[in-house]
Amino acid sequence: MDRIEAEKRVQELTALLNEYGHAYYVRDNPLVPDSVYDRKLQELLAIEAEYPDLVFPDSPTQRVGGEILPGFTKVVHEFPMLSLSNAFNEEDIRDFDRRVQAGAGKDITYICELKIDGLAVSLKYDNGAFSQGATRGDGTVGEDITSNLKTIHAIPLKLAEPVTIEVRGEAYMPKRSFMRLNELRDENGEEPFANPRNAAAGSLRQLDPKIAASRNLSVFIYGVGGDGSAYGQDSHSDSLDYLASLGFETNSSSKRCKSIEEVIDYIESWQQRRQDLDYEIDGIVIKVDGYEDQEQLGFTAKSPRWATAYKFPAEEVHSRLLDIELSV
Ligand code: NAD
């Protein structure tokens, strides 16, 4: 592809991905399956890697998430809520491992976690009391959804210790609640939600907390916002134990892995068993466990260098989106 063709394709892909992103992040109603979005984003990344002068500020490769819905109070995140780089196959995972080992200059212990397919939330506690909850938004500014989050039983209103802390997690809708909700919507002549992720996001981004309260949502907390070591832990795995001791619901399937082979085994085993879970996962998050190592690796503008998200291959998708998958 020469430069003129590349510039034209960059413009096409940017317009298309921004349209898809708006439907997904702002309206919680995707136009295409994730696999279609991901393939086009990878194509854009590949062109941008070849022609770095074609990386424009409005490129979806440079931005996190979407805009704030009108009616919500804005919350400026004390620590940015970033995205994750993606891996789609074993080669990508091994490349990630090589980059990490080179950056850290030593062997690394990883921690693998299920990638819960929901909506990222940030929860703030002042002296142990839940004070504010927000969406990720564009990573810098999110929406204040405190009243909606208070309706989720898995979110403690008071912690076991009077700490002031910000935590990050994924709010989600269990598969059974999702099916029940869509049955009800069908009975009422309403458009069904495309998937549990969009149903969870659509439920939490409502101004009336009664809607969230009726939707049987839950949450897994997967980390501390900002400097995890500020609470006396040396590693992410220790922080997860600490968060559980404070009363947060953490996911018990996380595993420390001493080599990339162990990481790959973990991924393969969950890829086969993911249907058994009563919530949806769309991949596995691989994180460097040690905080010192994380600090040394740092961040890009959009994501940490010490973590990546392996995305499972697309499954048979829900009917409405499948039609689009076949035709795009
Ligand atoms: P991402 O979903 O790939 O990864 C980041 C998110 O993973 C975090 O914000 C967090 O919410 C979540 N997460 C879940 N479990 C986690 C754990 N254990 N530890 C850490 N994080 C965890 O990135 P993204 O920027 O949110 O969005 C990209 C995703 O959205 C892609 O999957 C893409 O396919 C999809 N998308 C789809 C469309 C569409 O039209 N279908 C449009 C835009 C984006």
- Express each pLDDT in 113-149 by its tens digit: 999 999 999 999 999 999 999 999 999 999 999 999 9
As a CATH number, domain 64-327 is 3.30.470.30
CA-to-CA separations, 274 to 172, 268, 280, 316, 321, in angstroms, rounded = 15, 10, 8, 14, 21
Model confidence band, residue 323 (pLDDT cutoffs 50, 70, 90): very low
Q: What CATH architecture does domain 1-63 belong to?
A: Orthogonal Bundle (1.10)
CA-to-CA separations, 134 to 68, 122, 149, 169, 250, in angstroms, rounded = 11, 5, 9, 11, 18
pLDDT at 91: 97
pLDDT at 199: 95
Q: pLDDT tens digits, residue range 23-44?
A: 999 888 899 999 999 999 999 9
Q: Is the ipTM of this complex over 0.85?
A: yes
pLDDT at 326: 40
The residue count for the chain: 328
Same-fold call for 1-63 versus 64-327 = no
Annotated binding site for NAD(+): 34-38, 83-84, 113, 136, 170, 287, 311
Point out the least confidently predicted range of 63-67, 170-174, 196-200, 296-300. Answer: 63-67
Contact 199, 254 (CB under 8 A): no
Q: How far away, in angstroms, is 119 Cα from ligand 1 center?
A: 8
For the chain, the domains span: 1-63, 64-327
Index of the ligand 1 atom closest to the CA of residue 35: 34
Ligand 1, pocket-test mutation among 13, 35, 63, 84, most atoms within 8 A of CB: 84
